[in-house]
Amino acid sequence: MPIAFTAIMAGVDIVRVGIEDIYWMYPHRDEVVRSNAEALEKVTTFAKLLGREIASVPKAREILDIKRTS
């Protein structure tokens, strides 16, 4: 989580969020992220506090040029 927050503050446009990428909730406590939703909620709240825009799923796919397949 601290790396994601640092990246957002540094102006990175895309931050990957999930328990496979973010294990510890805080750098100074032994609190583990319990779910992807919890990690996403925390990062989204932080980004919004800094005035950063959150991309919707369709917008993220467009930015990353991800094509849907069936």
pLDDT digits (tens, 9 = 90+) for 20-52: 767 777 767 788 888 888 888 888 999 999 999
Q: What is the reported pLDDT for 51? A: 92
Phi then psi for 64, rounded to 5 degrees? -85, 0
Q: DSSP letter at 24?
A: B
pTM: 0.70
Mean pLDDT, the chain, whole residue set: 85
Q: Which residues, 6+ apart, have CB-to-CB distance to 62 below 8 Å?
A: none
d(C-alpha 25, C-alpha 5), whole Å: 11
d(C-alpha 59, C-alpha 55), whole Å: 6
d(C-alpha 60, C-alpha 56), whole Å: 6
